[in-house]
């Protein structure tokens, strides 16, 4: 069975939008055992859409389309599909009600273009979009499936998870696949590969595939057991292999599946009934953002100080001006003091801190990417010096995660 | 003349790599007047590559290929192209010398797989890659051009800029294209469309296309003038239409091209030699991050307080406990006090603040998505109440941008 993706939108072709949707869909289809063999981006053009659809249906059983469903004139996907499948557009009462409520609840009038969002091709399966005003559509033709979804990632992802995947699994009979993702940090891809080489070789006879998924500061290892057994059998094979893996690289493992360093730290703080504070310099709010991105973080996050300016480090955080004068703000001493002062100032149980040069250039003779991260409790503080690259964006996220990881390893005693 | 892009690599199809190359190429080709009408990602498979190439050449004059040129077994692009164009692979002496020097200078042995990087199809134009070991290749066939480049973005970009663009401009004679992107905030896509409907209709006779590019809290409007005149003429048409547009929706326009709310605010602060501070509750560090994401922001950003906990609002920021007791932390009064207190605490010229319920659930009887954003200077403070949706992630980014926008409009007097 072949699947393919069609991304519709001039903005993708001229590079104004990076096609993250195709990557998201490719990744998630893969986890349910469906391989995308082609991804195409085309313009908001009726002719292009029809040609592309015919092409795609000539080789694929599942065609997923995103984009071109907005209310404006350049959005032609819905009209084109309605004509292609010979299904006249009709008002869908449920959608009209939802769209009207959406605008009214925000105190906005319901315009004609908004009402048009409720026009759906008669006979298609309407995939109600509870995250926006443009519905998805499910068409079937000669045993093949065509799905159209809005291009807004947040809406597309919701529709895929809630409306599309269940239907796809039901429509196409798929053999069992079991995945398990193990999250590591603080160690490079090639180093991991070297350490687990023998273990990796042993996966082959069980027909378990291993993928390395690197991101800034972390490498995910995803095992996928394909077919050849029931889900229970595959699961038990994967669990056995996971135990073996943890014996080898357990010290680098910080979590599983969708964990993040911030979520792992958060769970541990909840268990300890402990509170955390943050003092950030070069990471500029990113650590606080990573922590507060998690619903419920208010139960363990007291708050943070972003001390971008030296005088704020002194006046608000309480770092000694003599210490700064002696060591400069770019130093281990100041990172340690920032973490300890944050514990004290916020009345927290733990704190993390960062100081250094995020870049893109060197600063005051300190090389770009030189960043100190520290963690503290009421008694002591520890610090690590990072030597990162020249990308400001990458340095900010890597230093933020390194600070959380330092706290995790030194104080929260989470080995995995 | 049509151009298209072929991205080769399994990692793209399964979403392990996001196809930023296609976006980069589309954007840069567009600026030299070449429109990409299709972008396709396919697997590292000989058969797929040949089929795709035939397809592409049947409709496009310029075909740009990336990926599959590495030294490992799964990289089949070069071999496939050599066979397709019937050009046997031969050692290119210059490349062999460069590749050998590359490895030797790093103290590494030159392996057979590295030497193979110097094998080039006999008769193609070798595009020497001075940023890596895999060369680009330029083929001509029946007045059409096929270019193959490595998939590493840093290498591809270098080759495009130094080897491909000059040759493309020389080979194809191109009509002009002029683009202009106008950035709006605080108003939805359908409202804009409604307001500018007559103006939008007037674009057609000038052969100017309009695209709406929505993102959380902002809508970009991109005009593209195609052909039919010199670059100067098209530019003047676009400028005229831009002036007309600003007459209609100028109040919603915050910038142009690659501006962000944080960068627009930053530029104005630099011009005013003013300093800003931030007091964030529900946005949890995102405003600070948006500001500090910009290199050089330390010249106008003093710092921020993330007052996730009520006691921090009182002890560190200086909000009066009586005010909180009377109105609760979820109130206009507290948002205003937070902004004014931030000005005072940090000794700043301006401050922005946020308080409210980011979600995903209601909190203390306040509906999720109810968020107050405020801005202040030394004399006064203003506040806006937002009614957003249920997505925590989206609410955080939308409220952050709304706070920056409030500052821009109320205090920095940037109308556009």
Tokens representing residue A296 in the block: 């419920």
To which residue do tokens 């972003």 refer?
A306
Q: Give B-chain residues touching A11 at CB under 8 angstroms.
A: 211, 213, 222
A115 touches chain B (CB under 8 A): no
pLDDT digits (tens, 9 = 90+) for A267-301: 999 999 999 999 999 999 999 999 999 999 999 99
pLDDT of residue B175: 74
Chain A: give the shortest CA distance to residue B90, in Å.
Answer: 32
User: Lowest-confidence range among A73-82, A189-198, A377-386?
Assistant: A189-198
A234 touches chain B (CB under 8 A): no
Identify the CATH assignment for A3-171 out of 3.10.180.10, 2.40.30.170, 3.40.980.10, 2.30.30.90. 3.40.980.10
Q: How confident is the model at residue B416 (pLDDT cuts 50, 70, 90)?
A: very low
DSSP class of residue B367 equals P
Cite the residue boundaries of each domain of chain A with CATH code 3.90.950.20: 261-410
pTM of the predicted structure, to 2 decimals: 0.82
Chain B: give the shortest CA distance to residue A36, in Å.
Answer: 6
pLDDT of residue B103: 83
Average pLDDT, chain A: 93
A267 touches chain B (CB under 8 A): no
Other beta carbons within 10 angstroms of residue B130's beta carbon come to 11
Asked if A30's CB is within 8 angstroms of B193's CB, the reply is no
Q: Which residue has the higher pLDDT, B239 or B107?
A: B239
Nearest CA in chain B to A45: B37
Q: Sign of torsion, CA A347 A351 A355 A359? A: negative
Indicate the angle between helix axes A77-84 and A46-59, nearest 10 degrees.
60
B284 touches chain A (CB under 8 A): yes
Chain A: give the shortest CA distance to residue B35, in Å.
Answer: 7
Asked if A360's CB is within 8 angstroms of B295's CB, the reply is yes
3-state DSSP call for residue B310?
Answer: helix
Q: Give A-chain residues touching B14 at CB under 8 angstroms.
A: 26-27, 30, 35-36
Asked if A41's CB is within 8 angstroms of B22's CB, the reply is yes
- Rounded percentage of chain B residues whose pLDDT exceeds 70: 99
Stretch 164-193 of chain B: residues touching chain A, C-beta under 8 Å: 179, 181, 188-191, 193
Distance, CA of B91 to CA of B118 (rounded, Å): 5
Q: Which CATH class is domain A261-410?
A: alpha beta
Q: Give B-chain residues touching A19 at CB under 8 angstroms.
A: 18-19, 22-23, 39
pLDDT of residue A414: 67
Cite the residue boundaries of each domain of chain B with CATH code 3.30.70.600: 177-256
Cite the residue boundaries of each domain of chain A with CATH code 3.40.980.10: 3-171
Q: How confident is the model at residue A41 (pLDDT cuts 50, 70, 90)?
A: very high
Helices (H) and strands (E) in chain B, counts: 17, 17
Residue B176 has pLDDT above 80, yes or no: no
pLDDT of residue B154: 86
CA distances from A1 to A23, A141, A224, A227, A320 (A): 19, 15, 18, 15, 66
Q: Give B-chain residues touching A278 at CB under 8 angstroms.
A: 285, 306
**Closest in B35, B316, B387 to A345, CB measured:** B316
Residue A415 has pLDDT above 60, yes or no: no
Mean pLDDT of B88-111: 89
pLDDT of residue B386: 96
Give the pairing type, strands A177-185 and A253-256.
antiparallel
Other beta carbons within 10 angstroms of residue A262's beta carbon come to 22
Chain B: give the shortest CA distance to residue A63, in Å.
Answer: 14
Mean pLDDT of A141-151: 97
Residue B55 has pLDDT above 70, yes or no: yes
Distance, CA of B324 to CA of B301 (rounded, Å): 27
pLDDT digits (tens, 9 = 90+) for A310-324: 999 999 999 999 999
pLDDT digits (tens, 9 = 90+) for A241-250: 999 999 999 9
Q: Give A-chain residues touching B225 at CB under 8 angstroms.
A: none
Q: Give A-chain residues touching B360 at CB under 8 angstroms.
A: 295
Which CATH architecture best describes the domain B177-256?
A: 2-Layer Sandwich (3.30)
Nearest CA in chain A to B45: A37
Superfamily of domain B264-410 in the CATH hierarchy: CinA-like (3.90.950.20)
Residue B232 has pLDDT above 80, yes or no: yes
B257 touches chain A (CB under 8 A): no
Q: Which residue has the higher pLDDT, B163 or A32?
A: B163
Most confident of A385-394, B209-218, B264-273: B264-273
Suggest the residue from B292, B300, B305, B357 to mutate for an interface test with chain A (most A CBs closer than 10 A): B292
pLDDT of residue B211: 84
| CB A195 within 8 Å of CB A248 | yes
Q: If residue B218 lies in a helix (H) or strand (E), which one and from where to where? A: strand B218-226
Q: How confident is the model at residue A64 (pLDDT cuts 50, 70, 90)?
A: very high
Residue B98 has pLDDT above 90, yes or no: yes
Suggest the residue from A309, A352, A397, A400 to mutate for an interface test with chain B (most B CBs closer than 10 A): A309
pLDDT of residue B226: 77
Q: How confident is the model at residue A176 (pLDDT cuts 50, 70, 90)?
A: confident
Q: How confident is the model at residue A105 (pLDDT cuts 50, 70, 90)?
A: confident
**Closest in A26, A111, A131 to B14, CB measured:** A26
B25 touches chain A (CB under 8 A): yes
Chain A: give the shortest CA distance to residue B172, in Å.
Answer: 19
Q: Is the predicted ipTM greater than 0.90, yes or no?
A: no
HSE-CB for A70 with a 13 A CA cutoff:
23
Give the A:B interface size as CB pairs under 8 Å.
263
Q: How confident is the model at residue B398 (pLDDT cuts 50, 70, 90)?
A: very high
Chain A: give the shortest CA distance to residue B6, in Å.
Answer: 9
B248 touches chain A (CB under 8 A): no
pLDDT of residue B366: 95
Distance of CA A22 to the CA centre of its chain: 14
B285 touches chain A (CB under 8 A): yes
3-state DSSP of B220-250? EEEEEEECCCCHHHHHHHHHHHHHHHHHHHH
Cite the residue boundaries of each domain of chain B with CATH code 3.90.950.20: 264-410
Chain A: give the shortest CA distance to residue B36, in Å.
Answer: 6
Q: How confident is the model at residue B414 (pLDDT cuts 50, 70, 90)?
A: low
Q: How confident is the model at residue B341 (pLDDT cuts 50, 70, 90)?
A: very high
Residue A347 has pLDDT above 50, yes or no: yes
Suggest the residue from B154, B289, B310, B313 to mutate for an interface test with chain A (most A CBs closer than 10 A): B289
Class of residue A199 by CB neighbours under 10 A (exposed 0-12, middle 13-18, buried 19+): middle
pLDDT of residue B96: 95
pLDDT digits (tens, 9 = 90+) for A1-28: 899 999 999 989 988 889 999 999 999 9
Distance, CA of B200 to CA of A140 (rounded, Å): 36
Nearest CA in chain B to A56: B40
pLDDT of residue A416: 46
CA distances from A256 to A153, A247, B156, B258, B331 (A): 24, 15, 35, 37, 39
Chain A: give the shortest CA distance to residue B108, in Å.
Answer: 16
pLDDT digits (tens, 9 = 90+) for B195-228: 999 999 999 999 898 988 888 889 999 898 976 7
Nearest CA in chain A to B17: A23
Chain A: give the shortest CA distance to residue B7, in Å.
Answer: 9
Give the pairing type, strands B218-226 and B136-141.
unpaired
- Rounded percentage of chain B residues whose pLDDT exceeds 90: 79
Distance, CA of B414 to CA of B365 (rounded, Å): 37
| CB A78 within 8 Å of CB A70 | no
Tokens representing residue A392 in the block: 């400001």
């Amino acid at each position: 069975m072949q699947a393919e993706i069609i991304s519709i939108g001039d903005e993708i072709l001229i590079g104004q939008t990076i096609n993250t949707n195709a990557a998201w869909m490719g990744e998630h289809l893969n986890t349910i055992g469906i391989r995308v063999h082609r991804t195409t981006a085309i313009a908001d053009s009726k002719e292009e859409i029809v040609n592309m659809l015919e092409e795609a249906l000539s080789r694929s059983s599942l065609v997923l389309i995103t984009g071109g469903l907005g209310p404006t004139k350049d959005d032609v996907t819905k009209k084109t599909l309605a004509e292609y499948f010979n299904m006249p557009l009709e008002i869908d009462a449920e959608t009209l009600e939802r769209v009207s409520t959406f605008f009214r609840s925000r105190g906005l009038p319901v315009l004609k273009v908004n009402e048009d969002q409720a026009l759906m091709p008669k006979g298609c399966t309407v995939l109600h979009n509870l995250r926006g005003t443009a519905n998805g559509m499910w068409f079937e033709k000669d045993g093949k499936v065509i799905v159209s979804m809005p291009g807004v990632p947040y809406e597309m992802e919701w529709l895929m998870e809630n409306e599309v995947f269940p239907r796809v699994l039901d429509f196409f009979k798929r053999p069992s696949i079991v995945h398990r993702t193990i999250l590591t940090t603080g160690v490079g891809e090639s180093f991991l590969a070297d350490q687990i080489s023998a273990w990796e070789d042993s996966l082959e006879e069980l027909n378990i595939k291993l993928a390395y998924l690197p991101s800034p500061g972390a490498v995910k290892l995803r095992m996928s057991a394909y077919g050849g057994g029931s889900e229970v059998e595959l699961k038990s094979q994967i669990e056995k292999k996971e135990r073996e893996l943890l014996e080898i690289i357990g010290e680098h493992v910080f979590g599983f599946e969708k964990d993040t360093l911030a979520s792992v730290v958060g769970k541990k703080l909840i268990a300890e009934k402990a509170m955390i504070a943050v003092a950030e310099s070069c990471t500029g709010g990113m650590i606080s953002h990573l922590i507060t991105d998690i619903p419920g973080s208010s139960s363990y996050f007291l708050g943070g100080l972003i001390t971008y300016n030296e005088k704020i480090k002194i006046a608000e955080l309480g770092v000694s001006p003599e210490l700064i004068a002696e060591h400069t703000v770019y130093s281990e001493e100041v990172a340690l003091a920032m973490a300890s002062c944050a514990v004290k100032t916020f009345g927290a149980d733990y704190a993390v801190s960062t100081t250094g040069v995020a870049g893109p250039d060197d600063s005051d003779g300190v090389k770009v990417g030189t960043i100190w991260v520290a963690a503290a409790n009421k008694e002591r503080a520890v610090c690590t010096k990072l030597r990162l690259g020249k990308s400001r964006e990458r340095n900010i996220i890597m230093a933020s995660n390194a600070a959380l990881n330092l706290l995790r390893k030194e104080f929260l005693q989470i080995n995995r």
